[in-house]
Amino acid sequence: MKYVLLALIGLFVAMYAYAVSTIEVLGDPDRTTVVWATDPNPARTKQVGIFEELNPDLEGLVDKSDATKLIVRCATDTGPDVVDIYDVFSLATFAEAGILMDLTPFADSLGFGLDDTYPPLREGLSYEGKQYRFPCNVHANAIIYNRKVLADHGAPLPQPDWTWEDFIESALAVRNKPSKSGETHIPFANWNSEWVFRDLLIGHGGDFFTADGLHSRLGEEVSVQAIELFRDMALKHDIMPTSAEAKSLSSQGGWGSGGIAWFFNQQAAYIHIGRWAIVQVPVYLKRNPDLVENIAAVALPRVPGHPSRGIVGTRAAGINAKTKNPEAAKRFLQYLASRDYGALIAADGDALPPNPELARTGEDLVNEHITDPAFHQPFIDAVDNGVTIKMSPFIEAQLVQRWALEAVEQVENGGDPRTAITRVADEIDNRIRQNLRRRPALQAKYEQVTGKPYRDDWWKDEIATR
Protein backbone atom coordinates (compact mmCIF):
# COMPACT_ATOMS: atom_id res chain seq x y z
CA MET A 1 0.00 0.00 0.00
CA LYS A 2 2.85 2.39 0.88
CA TYR A 3 4.43 1.96 -2.55
CA VAL A 4 1.09 2.43 -4.30
CA LEU A 5 0.59 5.70 -2.40
CA LEU A 6 4.08 6.90 -3.31
CA ALA A 7 3.46 6.03 -6.94
CA LEU A 8 0.21 7.99 -6.95
CA ILE A 9 1.92 11.00 -5.40
CA GLY A 10 4.65 10.80 -8.03
CA LEU A 11 2.07 10.56 -10.79
CA PHE A 12 0.22 13.58 -9.43
CA VAL A 13 3.40 15.68 -9.33
CA ALA A 14 4.29 14.66 -12.86
CA MET A 15 0.82 15.45 -14.18
CA TYR A 16 0.79 18.78 -12.37
CA ALA A 17 4.20 19.70 -13.81
CA TYR A 18 3.06 18.78 -17.33
CA ALA A 19 -0.19 20.73 -16.97
CA VAL A 20 1.59 23.85 -15.79
CA SER A 21 4.25 23.53 -18.49
CA THR A 22 1.55 23.63 -21.18
CA ILE A 23 0.15 26.93 -19.93
CA GLU A 24 1.04 29.66 -22.36
CA VAL A 25 3.03 32.47 -20.76
CA LEU A 26 2.15 35.72 -22.45
CA GLY A 27 5.22 37.88 -22.88
CA ASP A 28 7.39 39.78 -25.29
CA PRO A 29 9.42 37.26 -27.35
CA ASP A 30 12.13 39.89 -27.90
CA ARG A 31 12.78 40.38 -24.17
CA THR A 32 13.74 38.11 -21.29
CA THR A 33 10.78 37.72 -18.95
CA VAL A 34 11.12 37.90 -15.18
CA VAL A 35 8.11 36.36 -13.43
CA TRP A 36 7.56 37.75 -9.92
CA ALA A 37 5.33 35.77 -7.54
CA THR A 38 3.89 38.37 -5.20
CA ASP A 39 0.60 39.63 -3.78
CA PRO A 40 -2.18 41.14 -5.92
CA ASN A 41 -1.61 44.72 -4.72
CA PRO A 42 -2.41 47.06 -7.66
CA ALA A 43 0.85 48.92 -6.90
CA ARG A 44 2.81 45.97 -8.32
CA THR A 45 1.86 47.03 -11.87
CA LYS A 46 3.54 50.41 -11.43
CA GLN A 47 6.55 48.84 -9.72
CA VAL A 48 7.04 46.41 -12.60
CA GLY A 49 6.61 49.26 -15.09
CA ILE A 50 9.52 51.23 -13.57
CA PHE A 51 11.62 48.05 -13.58
CA GLU A 52 11.03 47.69 -17.31
CA GLU A 53 11.88 51.35 -17.96
CA LEU A 54 15.21 50.87 -16.17
CA ASN A 55 15.84 47.52 -17.91
CA PRO A 56 14.51 47.81 -21.50
CA ASP A 57 15.73 44.32 -22.39
CA LEU A 58 13.67 42.73 -19.60
CA GLU A 59 9.95 42.24 -19.14
CA GLY A 60 8.35 41.88 -15.72
CA LEU A 61 5.25 39.78 -15.17
CA VAL A 62 3.35 39.53 -11.87
CA ASP A 63 2.32 36.02 -10.82
CA LYS A 64 -0.51 36.07 -8.27
CA SER A 65 -0.43 32.34 -7.61
CA ASP A 66 -1.41 30.91 -4.25
CA ALA A 67 1.72 30.72 -2.10
CA THR A 68 0.85 27.16 -1.05
CA LYS A 69 1.38 25.98 -4.63
CA LEU A 70 4.76 27.63 -5.11
CA ILE A 71 6.86 24.88 -3.57
CA VAL A 72 5.38 22.24 -5.90
CA ARG A 73 5.75 24.51 -8.92
CA CYS A 74 9.34 25.44 -8.12
CA ALA A 75 10.24 21.80 -7.44
CA THR A 76 8.87 20.81 -10.85
CA ASP A 77 10.71 23.52 -12.82
CA THR A 78 7.53 25.48 -13.52
CA GLY A 79 7.89 28.13 -10.84
CA PRO A 80 8.41 31.89 -11.16
CA ASP A 81 11.84 33.49 -11.26
CA VAL A 82 11.41 35.66 -8.17
CA VAL A 83 9.37 34.59 -5.14
CA ASP A 84 8.10 36.80 -2.32
CA ILE A 85 8.58 35.26 1.14
CA TYR A 86 6.45 36.92 3.81
CA ASP A 87 7.96 35.91 7.16
CA VAL A 88 10.79 34.02 8.85
CA PHE A 89 8.59 30.93 9.24
CA SER A 90 8.08 30.69 5.47
CA LEU A 91 11.74 31.49 4.81
CA ALA A 92 12.83 28.47 6.84
CA THR A 93 10.37 26.23 5.00
CA PHE A 94 11.42 27.39 1.53
CA ALA A 95 15.14 27.29 2.36
CA GLU A 96 14.97 23.76 3.79
CA ALA A 97 13.01 22.61 0.74
CA GLY A 98 15.83 23.82 -1.53
CA ILE A 99 13.50 26.19 -3.36
CA LEU A 100 15.56 29.36 -2.87
CA MET A 101 18.92 30.26 -4.37
CA ASP A 102 21.71 31.11 -1.93
CA LEU A 103 22.39 34.80 -2.58
CA THR A 104 25.45 35.01 -0.33
CA PRO A 105 28.17 34.59 -3.00
CA PHE A 106 27.07 37.62 -5.05
CA ALA A 107 24.58 39.72 -3.07
CA ASP A 108 27.12 42.19 -1.65
CA SER A 109 28.80 42.86 -4.98
CA LEU A 110 25.44 43.37 -6.72
CA GLY A 111 24.14 45.81 -4.14
CA PHE A 112 21.49 43.76 -2.34
CA GLY A 113 23.52 42.27 0.51
CA LEU A 114 22.65 42.33 4.18
CA ASP A 115 24.49 45.62 4.68
CA ASP A 116 22.24 47.29 2.11
CA THR A 117 19.18 47.27 4.35
CA TYR A 118 18.21 47.83 8.01
CA PRO A 119 20.49 46.15 10.62
CA PRO A 120 17.66 44.65 12.76
CA LEU A 121 16.28 42.91 9.68
CA ARG A 122 19.46 41.20 8.52
CA GLU A 123 18.99 38.02 10.51
CA GLY A 124 15.50 37.65 9.08
CA LEU A 125 16.87 37.63 5.52
CA SER A 126 19.16 34.68 6.24
CA TYR A 127 18.81 31.07 7.25
CA GLU A 128 21.64 28.95 8.56
CA GLY A 129 24.10 31.76 7.86
CA LYS A 130 23.12 32.12 4.19
CA GLN A 131 21.21 35.04 2.67
CA TYR A 132 18.15 33.94 0.74
CA ARG A 133 16.11 37.10 0.20
CA PHE A 134 16.11 40.89 0.00
CA PRO A 135 13.25 43.19 1.10
CA CYS A 136 10.46 44.43 -1.12
CA ASN A 137 9.35 46.51 1.85
CA VAL A 138 10.17 46.64 5.56
CA HIS A 139 7.64 46.95 8.35
CA ALA A 140 7.30 47.14 12.11
CA ASN A 141 4.13 47.92 13.99
CA ALA A 142 3.22 51.11 15.81
CA ILE A 143 -0.11 52.39 17.13
CA ILE A 144 -2.28 54.60 14.94
CA TYR A 145 -4.99 56.45 16.85
CA ASN A 146 -7.93 58.71 16.08
CA ARG A 147 -7.87 61.99 18.01
CA LYS A 148 -11.53 62.69 17.22
CA VAL A 149 -12.74 59.38 18.64
CA LEU A 150 -10.62 59.74 21.79
CA ALA A 151 -11.86 63.30 22.35
CA ASP A 152 -15.44 62.14 21.79
CA HIS A 153 -15.09 59.89 24.85
CA GLY A 154 -12.83 62.16 26.88
CA ALA A 155 -10.09 59.51 26.71
CA PRO A 156 -6.44 60.40 27.40
CA LEU A 157 -4.28 60.88 24.30
CA PRO A 158 -1.13 58.77 23.94
CA GLN A 159 2.02 60.35 25.31
CA PRO A 160 5.68 59.68 24.45
CA ASP A 161 7.15 56.72 26.35
CA TRP A 162 3.69 55.48 27.33
CA THR A 163 3.11 52.02 28.81
CA TRP A 164 0.56 49.30 28.17
CA GLU A 165 -1.15 50.40 31.39
CA ASP A 166 -1.54 53.88 29.86
CA PHE A 167 -2.92 52.34 26.70
CA ILE A 168 -5.46 50.26 28.61
CA GLU A 169 -6.57 53.31 30.63
CA SER A 170 -7.26 55.26 27.44
CA ALA A 171 -8.99 52.32 25.72
CA LEU A 172 -11.18 51.70 28.77
CA ALA A 173 -12.34 55.31 28.63
CA VAL A 174 -13.50 54.72 25.05
CA ARG A 175 -15.35 51.62 26.16
CA ASN A 176 -16.87 52.97 29.36
CA LYS A 177 -17.50 56.68 28.84
CA PRO A 178 -20.51 57.68 26.74
CA SER A 179 -19.49 59.65 23.68
CA LYS A 180 -20.55 63.25 23.15
CA SER A 181 -21.68 62.33 19.63
CA GLY A 182 -23.83 59.46 20.82
CA GLU A 183 -21.86 56.99 18.70
CA THR A 184 -20.33 53.74 19.93
CA HIS A 185 -16.69 53.04 19.10
CA ILE A 186 -14.39 50.03 19.34
CA PRO A 187 -11.47 50.89 21.64
CA PHE A 188 -8.86 48.72 19.85
CA ALA A 189 -9.46 47.51 16.29
CA ASN A 190 -7.76 44.12 16.50
CA TRP A 191 -7.25 42.82 12.97
CA ASN A 192 -4.57 40.18 13.71
CA SER A 193 -4.37 38.59 17.15
CA GLU A 194 -1.21 36.65 16.32
CA TRP A 195 0.67 39.85 15.51
CA VAL A 196 -0.50 41.51 18.73
CA PHE A 197 0.82 38.58 20.78
CA ARG A 198 4.16 38.49 18.94
CA ASP A 199 4.82 42.16 19.63
CA LEU A 200 3.79 41.73 23.27
CA LEU A 201 6.22 38.80 23.49
CA ILE A 202 9.13 40.83 22.13
CA GLY A 203 8.13 43.85 24.21
CA HIS A 204 8.39 41.74 27.37
CA GLY A 205 11.90 40.65 26.38
CA GLY A 206 10.81 37.23 25.13
CA ASP A 207 11.31 35.29 21.91
CA PHE A 208 10.47 31.93 20.37
CA PHE A 209 13.87 30.23 20.81
CA THR A 210 17.13 30.38 22.69
CA ALA A 211 20.15 31.60 20.70
CA ASP A 212 21.30 28.04 19.93
CA GLY A 213 17.81 27.02 18.74
CA LEU A 214 17.72 23.99 21.02
CA HIS A 215 15.00 25.19 23.38
CA SER A 216 11.80 27.18 23.20
CA ARG A 217 11.64 30.37 25.24
CA LEU A 218 7.83 30.36 25.21
CA GLY A 219 7.75 28.67 28.61
CA GLU A 220 9.62 31.53 30.27
CA GLU A 221 7.81 33.81 32.70
CA VAL A 222 8.08 36.79 30.31
CA SER A 223 6.19 34.79 27.69
CA VAL A 224 3.48 33.97 30.20
CA GLN A 225 3.23 37.66 31.15
CA ALA A 226 2.90 38.60 27.47
CA ILE A 227 0.04 36.23 26.75
CA GLU A 228 -1.66 37.14 30.04
CA LEU A 229 -1.63 40.79 28.97
CA PHE A 230 -3.09 39.72 25.63
CA ARG A 231 -5.83 37.83 27.51
CA ASP A 232 -6.54 40.81 29.75
CA MET A 233 -7.03 43.18 26.81
CA ALA A 234 -9.31 40.75 24.98
CA LEU A 235 -11.34 39.24 27.82
CA LYS A 236 -10.79 40.99 31.15
CA HIS A 237 -10.83 44.60 29.96
CA ASP A 238 -12.80 43.78 26.80
CA ILE A 239 -11.11 46.52 24.78
CA MET A 240 -10.38 44.52 21.64
CA PRO A 241 -12.46 41.95 19.76
CA THR A 242 -11.10 38.41 19.68
CA SER A 243 -10.52 36.80 16.30
CA ALA A 244 -13.90 35.05 16.49
CA GLU A 245 -15.70 38.25 17.49
CA ALA A 246 -14.04 40.16 14.66
CA LYS A 247 -15.17 37.54 12.13
CA SER A 248 -18.68 37.62 13.52
CA LEU A 249 -18.94 41.40 13.36
CA SER A 250 -17.57 41.42 9.81
CA SER A 251 -19.96 38.72 8.58
CA GLN A 252 -22.88 40.60 10.08
CA GLY A 253 -21.79 43.80 8.39
CA GLY A 254 -21.95 45.67 11.68
CA TRP A 255 -18.53 47.23 11.52
CA GLY A 256 -17.35 46.88 7.95
CA SER A 257 -14.94 44.23 6.69
CA GLY A 258 -12.63 43.92 9.68
CA GLY A 259 -10.30 45.78 11.99
CA ILE A 260 -8.60 47.84 9.31
CA ALA A 261 -11.94 48.96 7.86
CA TRP A 262 -13.28 49.76 11.34
CA PHE A 263 -10.36 52.03 12.07
CA PHE A 264 -10.19 53.88 8.76
CA ASN A 265 -13.95 54.34 8.79
CA GLN A 266 -13.40 56.11 12.14
CA GLN A 267 -15.31 53.48 14.10
CA ALA A 268 -12.36 52.65 16.37
CA ALA A 269 -9.93 54.62 18.54
CA TYR A 270 -6.77 52.55 18.11
CA ILE A 271 -5.18 50.05 15.74
CA HIS A 272 -1.90 48.13 16.02
CA ILE A 273 -0.43 48.04 12.51
CA GLY A 274 2.42 48.93 10.15
CA ARG A 275 2.80 51.97 7.90
CA TRP A 276 1.68 49.85 4.95
CA ALA A 277 -1.92 50.35 6.10
CA ILE A 278 -1.95 53.94 4.83
CA VAL A 279 -1.94 52.65 1.26
CA GLN A 280 -5.69 52.36 1.82
CA VAL A 281 -6.19 55.94 3.04
CA PRO A 282 -7.32 57.28 -0.39
CA VAL A 283 -10.14 54.70 -0.47
CA TYR A 284 -11.48 55.69 2.95
CA LEU A 285 -11.12 59.43 2.36
CA LYS A 286 -14.13 59.25 0.06
CA ARG A 287 -16.38 58.44 3.03
CA ASN A 288 -14.31 60.18 5.69
CA PRO A 289 -12.93 63.45 4.29
CA ASP A 290 -11.61 64.48 7.72
CA LEU A 291 -9.79 61.15 8.28
CA VAL A 292 -6.22 62.37 7.80
CA GLU A 293 -6.57 65.35 10.10
CA ASN A 294 -7.88 63.04 12.84
CA ILE A 295 -5.28 60.27 12.83
CA ALA A 296 -1.76 60.18 14.26
CA ALA A 297 0.84 57.52 15.03
CA VAL A 298 2.83 56.73 18.16
CA ALA A 299 5.31 54.06 19.23
CA LEU A 300 4.05 50.80 20.69
CA PRO A 301 3.42 51.06 24.43
CA ARG A 302 6.29 49.68 26.46
CA VAL A 303 6.46 47.20 29.32
CA PRO A 304 7.87 48.76 32.52
CA GLY A 305 11.60 48.13 32.61
CA HIS A 306 11.76 47.56 28.84
CA PRO A 307 11.94 49.88 25.81
CA SER A 308 9.17 50.13 23.24
CA ARG A 309 9.97 47.21 20.98
CA GLY A 310 8.30 44.87 18.53
CA ILE A 311 9.06 42.65 15.57
CA VAL A 312 10.69 43.87 12.38
CA GLY A 313 9.29 42.05 9.38
CA THR A 314 9.48 42.16 5.63
CA ARG A 315 7.89 41.00 2.44
CA ALA A 316 11.13 39.97 0.80
CA ALA A 317 12.02 38.42 -2.54
CA GLY A 318 14.14 35.36 -3.13
CA ILE A 319 15.27 33.77 -6.38
CA ASN A 320 13.94 30.39 -7.46
CA ALA A 321 16.92 28.04 -7.34
CA LYS A 322 15.74 26.50 -10.64
CA THR A 323 15.04 29.72 -12.50
CA LYS A 324 15.97 29.66 -16.17
CA ASN A 325 16.79 33.38 -16.00
CA PRO A 326 19.17 33.77 -13.03
CA GLU A 327 20.93 36.91 -14.29
CA ALA A 328 17.63 38.65 -14.98
CA ALA A 329 16.34 37.64 -11.54
CA LYS A 330 19.45 39.12 -9.92
CA ARG A 331 18.79 42.38 -11.76
CA PHE A 332 15.30 42.40 -10.29
CA LEU A 333 16.72 42.21 -6.76
CA GLN A 334 19.13 45.01 -7.69
CA TYR A 335 16.04 47.01 -8.64
CA LEU A 336 14.50 46.36 -5.21
CA ALA A 337 17.62 47.86 -3.61
CA SER A 338 17.57 50.91 -5.88
CA ARG A 339 16.50 54.46 -5.06
CA ASP A 340 13.96 54.33 -7.90
CA TYR A 341 12.06 51.45 -6.35
CA GLY A 342 12.45 52.76 -2.79
CA ALA A 343 10.97 56.11 -3.80
CA LEU A 344 7.84 54.31 -5.03
CA ILE A 345 7.43 52.51 -1.69
CA ALA A 346 7.89 55.73 0.28
CA ALA A 347 5.41 57.64 -1.87
CA ASP A 348 2.74 54.92 -1.87
CA GLY A 349 2.99 54.39 1.90
CA ASP A 350 3.67 50.67 1.44
CA ALA A 351 5.69 50.32 4.69
CA LEU A 352 9.34 51.43 4.50
CA PRO A 353 11.62 51.21 1.44
CA PRO A 354 14.34 48.53 1.51
CA ASN A 355 17.08 51.19 1.31
CA PRO A 356 17.35 52.83 4.78
CA GLU A 357 18.90 55.94 3.21
CA LEU A 358 15.40 56.73 1.93
CA ALA A 359 13.83 56.57 5.40
CA ARG A 360 16.17 58.45 7.72
CA THR A 361 13.44 60.68 9.19
CA GLY A 362 9.71 61.19 8.88
CA GLU A 363 10.38 63.94 6.32
CA ASP A 364 11.62 61.28 3.91
CA LEU A 365 8.28 59.44 4.05
CA VAL A 366 5.88 62.35 3.66
CA ASN A 367 3.52 61.55 0.82
CA GLU A 368 0.56 63.02 -1.00
CA HIS A 369 -2.04 62.01 1.57
CA ILE A 370 -0.22 62.22 4.92
CA THR A 371 2.05 65.25 4.94
CA ASP A 372 2.94 65.36 8.63
CA PRO A 373 6.45 63.94 9.22
CA ALA A 374 5.51 63.18 12.83
CA PHE A 375 3.02 60.56 11.60
CA HIS A 376 5.71 58.60 9.75
CA GLN A 377 8.53 58.84 12.31
CA PRO A 378 7.21 56.16 14.74
CA PHE A 379 7.40 53.54 12.01
CA ILE A 380 11.06 54.36 11.33
CA ASP A 381 11.77 54.19 15.06
CA ALA A 382 9.93 50.87 15.30
CA VAL A 383 12.20 49.33 12.65
CA ASP A 384 15.36 50.82 14.16
CA ASN A 385 14.48 49.52 17.65
CA GLY A 386 12.85 46.24 16.68
CA VAL A 387 14.12 42.68 16.40
CA THR A 388 13.56 39.71 14.13
CA ILE A 389 12.03 36.52 15.52
CA LYS A 390 14.67 33.85 16.05
CA MET A 391 14.08 30.55 14.29
CA SER A 392 15.53 27.14 15.06
CA PRO A 393 17.09 24.78 12.50
CA PHE A 394 16.05 21.85 14.68
CA ILE A 395 12.29 22.08 14.13
CA GLU A 396 9.85 22.72 11.28
CA ALA A 397 9.02 26.43 11.24
CA GLN A 398 5.42 25.98 10.13
CA LEU A 399 4.73 23.72 13.11
CA VAL A 400 5.96 26.39 15.50
CA GLN A 401 3.82 29.03 13.84
CA ARG A 402 0.73 26.81 13.94
CA TRP A 403 1.17 25.83 17.59
CA ALA A 404 1.71 29.43 18.69
CA LEU A 405 -1.41 30.55 16.83
CA GLU A 406 -3.40 27.73 18.44
CA ALA A 407 -2.26 28.95 21.89
CA VAL A 408 -3.47 32.47 21.09
CA GLU A 409 -6.82 31.12 19.92
CA GLN A 410 -7.16 28.99 23.06
CA VAL A 411 -6.63 32.05 25.23
CA GLU A 412 -9.16 34.05 23.19
CA ASN A 413 -11.65 31.26 23.86
CA GLY A 414 -11.12 31.47 27.62
CA GLY A 415 -8.22 29.03 28.06
CA ASP A 416 -5.62 29.59 30.76
CA PRO A 417 -2.73 31.64 29.29
CA ARG A 418 0.03 29.93 31.28
CA THR A 419 -1.20 26.47 30.38
CA ALA A 420 -1.63 27.35 26.70
CA ILE A 421 1.80 28.88 26.15
CA THR A 422 3.82 26.45 28.29
CA ARG A 423 2.16 23.57 26.45
CA VAL A 424 3.49 25.00 23.18
CA ALA A 425 6.97 25.34 24.71
CA ASP A 426 6.86 21.69 25.78
CA GLU A 427 5.64 20.58 22.34
CA ILE A 428 8.48 22.48 20.67
CA ASP A 429 11.13 21.07 23.00
CA ASN A 430 9.84 17.53 22.57
CA ARG A 431 9.76 17.89 18.80
CA ILE A 432 13.34 19.18 18.75
CA ARG A 433 14.51 16.16 20.78
CA GLN A 434 12.56 13.81 18.51
CA ASN A 435 14.01 15.37 15.36
CA LEU A 436 17.53 15.13 16.74
CA ARG A 437 17.11 11.44 17.58
CA ARG A 438 15.93 10.68 14.06
CA ARG A 439 18.14 12.86 11.87
CA PRO A 440 21.91 12.42 11.78
CA ALA A 441 22.29 15.72 9.91
CA LEU A 442 20.71 17.55 12.85
CA GLN A 443 22.95 15.67 15.25
CA ALA A 444 25.95 17.01 13.36
CA LYS A 445 24.44 20.48 13.56
CA TYR A 446 23.96 20.02 17.32
CA GLU A 447 27.64 19.20 17.70
CA GLN A 448 28.55 22.23 15.62
CA VAL A 449 26.36 24.54 17.72
CA THR A 450 27.30 23.19 21.14
CA GLY A 451 30.83 21.89 20.63
CA LYS A 452 29.76 18.68 22.39
CA PRO A 453 29.22 15.13 21.12
CA TYR A 454 25.57 14.31 20.55
CA ARG A 455 23.73 12.00 22.98
CA ASP A 456 20.02 11.15 22.89
CA ASP A 457 19.64 12.39 26.47
CA TRP A 458 21.63 15.61 25.94
CA TRP A 459 18.72 17.70 27.18
CA LYS A 460 18.78 16.15 30.67
CA ASP A 461 22.15 17.77 31.42
CA GLU A 462 20.88 21.15 30.27
CA ILE A 463 17.78 20.94 32.46
CA ALA A 464 19.97 20.12 35.45
CA THR A 465 22.08 23.26 34.92
CA ARG A 466 19.16 25.66 34.52
- Annotated domain spans of the chain: 28-140+312-385, 142-298
Q: What is the pLDDT of residue 17?
A: 45
- With CA atoms as reference, report the closest residue to 37 among 69, 76, 82, 77: 82
Among 20-29, 131-140, 156-165, 257-266, where is mean pLDDT lowest? 20-29
pLDDT digits (tens, 9 = 90+) for 179-209: 999 999 999 999 999 999 999 999 999 999 9
pLDDT digits (tens, 9 = 90+) for 296-346: 999 999 999 999 999 999 999 999 999 999 999 999 999 999 999 999 999
Q: What is the pLDDT of residue 87?
A: 86
Note whether 28-140+312-385 and 142-298 share their fold. yes
The CATH code belonging to domain 28-140+312-385 is 3.40.190.10
Crossing angle between the packed helical segments 397-412 and 88-96, to the nearest 10 degrees? 150
Which CATH superfamily includes the segment(s) 142-298? Periplasmic binding protein-like II (3.40.190.10)
pLDDT digits (tens, 9 = 90+) for 364-400: 999 999 999 999 999 999 999 999 988 899 999 989 9
pLDDT digits (tens, 9 = 90+) for 1-55: 433 333 443 444 444 444 444 444 456 678 899 999 998 888 888 999 999 999 9
- Between CA 252 and CA 455 the distance in angstroms is 56
Rounded to two decimals, the pTM is: 0.89
Q: What is the pLDDT of residue 189?
A: 95
| Amino acid at position 147, single letter | R
In this predicted structure, the answer to whether residue 65 has a pLDDT above a threshold of 80 is no
Q: What is the pLDDT of residue 40?
A: 81
Percentage of the chain surpassing pLDDT 70? 90
Q: What is the pLDDT of residue 159?
A: 93
Of residues 122 and 148, more confidence is placed in 148
pLDDT digits (tens, 9 = 90+) for 203-251: 999 999 999 999 999 999 999 999 999 999 999 999 999 888 877 665 4
Q: What is the pLDDT of residue 212?
A: 94
Mean pLDDT of the chain: 90
Residues of 228-255 as b/e, b for ≥16 C-beta within 10 angstroms? bbbbebbbebbbbbbbeebeebbeeeeb
- Between CA 347 and CA 370 the distance in angstroms is 10
- Between CA 2 and CA 52 the distance in angstroms is 50
